[in-house]
Chain A
Amino acid sequence: MKHPHYLVTTLLTSASLFALTACEEPKVDASIFENIEQCMGDPLLTEAQCRSSFKEAQNQHAAVAPKYATAEDCQADFGAEKCEPAPYKTTSGGSVFMPMMAGYMMGSMLGGRGTMMSQPLYRSSQGARGFRTAENRGVGSTTGRTKVASSATSRPTFKTSTRSRGGFGSSGRRFGSGAT
């Protein structure tokens, strides 16, 4: 079952959305936390790492969370008071809803750049009750250190709406080639 992560012109109304991913695949190390405090309970993680990975997940949240045309549809999947308005409008100007971020997952040195890549997690009110990524991959219900399917650790696909373009390029028009 495929669930779109953004709205174009059509909106889903289907309530049933989480399919179980049953097939076995390699597991990798990851850490799951509901909040920064929980993360700081891990002696091997610093407060700075916890804060930056939380922020990284939070930054992705609005862009990657599943989107719904009505609060009711969202609540049917994620539970009462577990949804919030998304910072988007449909093309006809309607509101958009998304589940609240229920936690975040840090890969075990999954990313480069000296930090651990992080992504937001959501929790369904029905079916399997564990955490799920924005791409609807189950990662279990254990917080702290855990093992998850390696496919669940890839970055969620970002699709968003662009506010403006053309904020780069003016120097090139003035000076010419950027090559040296």
Chain B
Amino acid sequence: MQRIPVTERPNLSALAVEHEFEYTPGEGISGWDESAYYQFSQDQIENDIVKPAEELEELCFQVVERAIGNEEVLVRLGIPEYFWLYIADSWRNGDKNLCGRMDLSYNGQGPAKLLEYNADTPTTLYESAIMQWQWLEQAVDLEFIPDNVDQLNEIHERIVDILPLFNIDGVAHFACNHDFEDDKGTLGYLEECAKEAGLKTRALTMADIGINEQGRFTDLDDQIITTLAKLYPWEWIMAEEFGKYVPESDVQFIEPPWKAILSNKGLLPLLWGMFENHPNLLPAFFEDDPAAVDFANAGTFVRKPMLSRQGANIQIVKEGQTIFQSDGPYGDSACILQGLQPLPNFMDRHPLLGCWLVASKAVGICIREDKSLVTGTTANFVPHVILG
């Protein structure tokens, strides 16, 4: 694994327009940095990323299997009681899952460690699937990079191939909070994939969704929603006014309800509890677990809210000293403690490696770099290649 500086393509402002990203002269495309790329060997990708990610997915499924029948676990994850049976049914029915991104700490040697699993509302999908691949092709054409490079990137093809297996009949609705370009862009891309897969689609905001007398969800044309692809976290849905209608709504959700168990950072102590010392796992404990006391007393750990996003409210303690603390709106959430596996340092950047799983198959990589140890909203996407 190397970080290799490279010439940026000369037409970045035009590319920003093409992909509907912000562009600032002198700074480039917002959230995107192609002044360098990461290079991996085939062996690193196959044996250190793809295999472990798919194995971790299997372990996650075992956690779900255990959690759905375990009241104590469900309470700990903060899942409201009225959702328990609904989640269990969705798992037992085999409701299909589409996308997830495992965030890993990996430096090119030794096992990648799972930091968290963004199993419900993962983003940077478009950058990973489309922009990164286009960069590879054009950078080869421009002779900026060797022409025998490859990329782990079958995200688009896999999504388009798998969607027909969801047996979506009628219109598939796509909902998120349209105030955020990132959310809208990611979901818009998924909608494009769905169209390519031959589905009829319609987009709306979460706040647009209505309810009828029979407890069915409706769109702005009073059409009943039967399939809803959402970029809106399950924990929010469960906490909001219309959440109570969800279990009887007869909607096929993408991601399915059982993903609520995996997108919660409570997954990490559950994984550790079941598969302690697995090479791709870090020790992790619920903060209110007696075992967490000894772990914290040892002085080095990361404290994360169970439900937070984009690097908010994370604390890193090293040898008894807080070396990093981010603020954010999730300060009231219950927390977990996790072992510290600092992101590696390449040219003063800290790459976080995301492995994309589409229908549980590892088909893509995204690297986001931040200048801090915790990857937040200031991170930039950096493309990758496979060589040798």
Q: Do A and B bind each other?
A: yes
> Which B residues are in CB contact (< 8 Å) with A91?
none
> Which A residues are in CB contact (< 8 Å) with B242?
167-168
Q: Quick check: is B179 within 8 A (CB to CB) of the other chain?
A: yes
> Which A residues are in CB contact (< 8 Å) with B182?
177, 179
Query: How many Å lie between the Cα of A96 and that of B223 in the bound state?
Result: 19
Which single member of A158, A168, A177 contacts B309 (CB below 8 Å)?
Answer: A177
Query: How many Å lie between the Cα of A3 and that of B186 in the bound state?
Result: 39
Q: Which B residues have a C-beta under 8 Å from some C-beta of A? A: 92-96, 101, 118, 120-123, 165-170, 175-177, 179-180, 182-183, 186, 205-214, 216, 218, 221-224, 226, 231-233, 235-237, 239-242, 245, 250, 252, 263, 309-310, 329-330
> Which A residues are in CB contact (< 8 Å) with B224?
63, 158-160
Q: Which of A109-117, A123-131, A137-145 touches B?
A: A109-117
A154 and B170: CB pair below 8 A? yes
The distance from the CB of A15 to the nearest CB of chain B, in whole angstroms, is: 27
Q: Quick check: is A147 within 8 A (CB to CB) of the other chain?
A: no
> Which A residues are in CB contact (< 8 Å) with B183?
177-179
Which single member of B169, B186, B233, B241 contacts A111 (CB below 8 Å)?
Answer: B169
Q: Quick check: is A157 within 8 A (CB to CB) of the other chain?
A: yes
| With A63-B224, A179-B309: A172-B179 Cβ-Cβ less than 8 Å | yes
Query: How many Å lie between the Cα of A112 and that of B167 in the bound state?
Result: 5
Query: How many Å lie between the Cα of A59 and that of B217 in the bound state?
Result: 12
B205 and A169: CB pair below 8 A? yes
B123 and A160: CB pair below 8 A? no
State which residues 131-178 of A face B: CB under 8 Å.
154-155, 157-172, 174-178
Taking A155-B169, A160-B212, A161-B222 as known contacts, 20 extra A-B pairs with beta carbons closer than 8 A to each other, sorted by chain A number, are: A59-B216, A59-B250, A63-B216, A87-B213, A112-B96, A113-B95, A114-B93, A158-B216, A159-B221, A159-B223, A161-B212, A171-B233, A172-B206, A177-B123, A178-B121, A178-B233, A178-B309, A179-B123, A180-B233, A180-B263
Which single member of B93, B123, B218 contacts A162 (CB below 8 Å)?
Answer: B218
A179 and B240: CB pair below 8 A? no
> Which B residues are in CB contact (< 8 Å) with A62?
213-214
> Which B residues are in CB contact (< 8 Å) with A168?
175, 206-207, 209, 232, 237, 240-242
A63 and B212: CB pair below 8 A? yes
| With A59-B250, A168-B232: A154-B169 Cβ-Cβ less than 8 Å | yes
Most chain A beta carbons < 10 A, residue from B120, B122, B214: B214
Most chain B beta carbons < 10 A, residue from A115, A168, A169: A168
B122 and A179: CB pair below 8 A? yes
Offer 17 A-B interface pairs, CB within 8 angstroms, sorted by A.
A112-B166, A117-B167, A117-B169, A159-B221, A160-B212, A160-B216, A160-B218, A160-B223, A161-B222, A163-B212, A165-B207, A176-B180, A178-B309, A179-B123, A180-B120, A180-B123, A180-B309
Q: Quick check: is A72 within 8 A (CB to CB) of the other chain?
A: no
A179 and B186: CB pair below 8 A? yes
A157 and B223: CB pair below 8 A? yes
Q: Quick check: is A56 within 8 A (CB to CB) of the other chain?
A: yes
> Which A residues are in CB contact (< 8 Å) with B176?
178
Least CB separation from B249: chain A residue: A59
Query: How many Å lie between the Cα of A2 and that of B85 in the bound state?
Result: 41
Q: Can you list, as one digit per residue, whether each of A84-105 has a CB less than 8 Å from chain B (1) or not (0)?
A: 0001100000000000000000
> Which B residues are in CB contact (< 8 Å) with A169?
177, 205-207, 240
A180 and B118: CB pair below 8 A? yes
A177 and B310: CB pair below 8 A? yes
> Which A residues are in CB contact (< 8 Å) with B310?
177, 179-180
| With A163-B213, A180-B122: A171-B169 Cβ-Cβ less than 8 Å | no
The distance from the CB of B131 to the nearest CB of chain A, in whole angstroms, is: 16
> Which B residues are in CB contact (< 8 Å) with A110?
167, 169
Query: How many Å lie between the Cα of A159 and that of B219 in the bound state?
Result: 10
Query: How many Å lie between the Cα of A107 and that of B295 in the bound state?
Result: 55
Least CB separation from A6: chain B residue: B222
The distance from the CB of B40 to the nearest CB of chain A, in whole angstroms, is: 24
A157 and B212: CB pair below 8 A? no
The distance from the CB of B259 to the nearest CB of chain A, in whole angstroms, is: 12
A115 and B93: CB pair below 8 A? yes
Least CB separation from A172: chain B residue: B177
Least CB separation from A167: chain B residue: B242
B208 and A165: CB pair below 8 A? yes
Nearest 9 A-B pairs (CB), nearest first? A167-B242, A158-B224, A112-B167, A169-B207, A162-B210, A171-B236, A179-B123, A172-B177, A180-B118
> Which B residues are in CB contact (< 8 Å) with A159?
221-224
The distance from the CB of A60 to the nearest CB of chain B, in whole angstroms, is: 8
The distance from the CB of B187 to the nearest CB of chain A, in whole angstroms, is: 9
| With A112-B165, A158-B226: A165-B209 Cβ-Cβ less than 8 Å | yes
B94 and A174: CB pair below 8 A? no
Most chain B beta carbons < 10 A, residue from A113, A172, A179: A179
Least CB separation from A87: chain B residue: B213
> Which A residues are in CB contact (< 8 Å) with B175?
168
